[in-house]
Amino acid sequence: VIGEFAAIAAIAAKLPGPPDAGQVWIGDDTAVLPIPTGHRFLFAADSMVAGVHADLALTGIDDLGWKALAAAVSDIAAMGGDPGWAVVTVACPPGTDLGRLYEGLADSAGVHHCPIVGGDLSEAPVLVVTVAVTGSCDGLPVLRSGARAGDDVWVTRPLGAAAAGLRAYRSAATGTDPSLLSAHARPVAELMAGAAARRAGATAMIDISDGLTADLGHLADASHVGIALDTVPVAEGASFDDALGGGEDYALAFTAPDSALVATEFAGFPEPIRMGSCTAIDGELLFEGRPLTRKGWEHTW
């Protein structure tokens, strides 16, 4: 049996500490940080629940930690913002491998340049990991609501790898492309692509977390446009259905009026793929001219 305060001390010892004496990260009532800089401040949080968002019989508790932080940072990326800091709260049953959970969280925080500066640990019958993140934006963040009829619709990379990876974990297939497995277990938020899209004049942007059709539906609804897709890029090893509704890809979809500027701003990054364009018909989603059903992840009560 380990007490809460000993557990927090063990976690704190594994995480990087503040860069200077003017900051306090873990160990006080709140983290003490410099005032963020930039034009706008960003703030969001996501929870991951064991057995709902992740099956711990398939992937590790470290992967769950990784993904919880990546999903929160992906919301910053979807605004074209830069990550600031994360606070992590963990509610979990006795016997939870906190060391391994925080290894995944810490690795993800390192890759995403979003240090964990505080949080909370408590008892619960099921593991729930919540990551709140701050961010900032040098210019105006890209909302979901700014798309206009005629804008091109882009996605930062082919879709469906996360869903195909989950299927491979479930079937315990050997010889699966490791990039599919890591797309499911260790997704990486597209911070650089989000910032490039913002600089390229993106009018609206969203990360593909629920599924392409569901997320494009959110963007279309918020912008009061329709979206007509000519093509949906499918990741190697994934099916068309994986790409349309699989979710958890954490690629970014965005709309922009000037394709030449998109090409310029994405020079040096993987080239985004043009999927179609925005129409004037509020909320209508089409693929090759036919209605597209909104599919994807949605909790129900």
Task: Specify the stretch interacting with a second copy by CB under 8 A; choose among 4-12, 172-180, 232-240, 272-280.
Answer: 4-12
96: nearest Cα among 128, 58, 59, 144: 128
Q: Which of 45, 56, 58, 111 touches a second copy by CB under 8 A?
A: 45
Q: Which of 69, 76, 197, 202 binds a second copy (CB under 8 A)?
A: 76
85 binds a second copy (CB under 8 A): yes
Calculate the alpha carbon distances from 12 to 28, 87, 133 in Å.
Answer: 12, 12, 18
Contact between 213 and a second copy per CB under 8 A: no
Residues 99-118 interacting with a second copy (rule: CB under 8 A): 117-118
Q: If binding is defined by CB under 8 A, does position 191 make contact with a second copy?
A: no
Task: Say how many residues touch a second copy, by CB under 8 A.
Answer: 80
SS3 290: strand
Q: Are 240 and 229 in contact (CB under 8 A)?
A: no
CB 170 within 8 A of CB 149: no
Asked if residue 142 lies in contact with residue 271, where contact means CB atoms within 8 angstroms, the answer is no
Binding status of residue 119 toward a second copy by CB under 8 A: yes
57 binds a second copy (CB under 8 A): no
> Closest separation between CB of residue 38 and a second copy, Å?
6
Confirm or reject binding of residue 21 to a second copy (CB under 8 A).
no
231 touches a second copy (CB under 8 A) = no
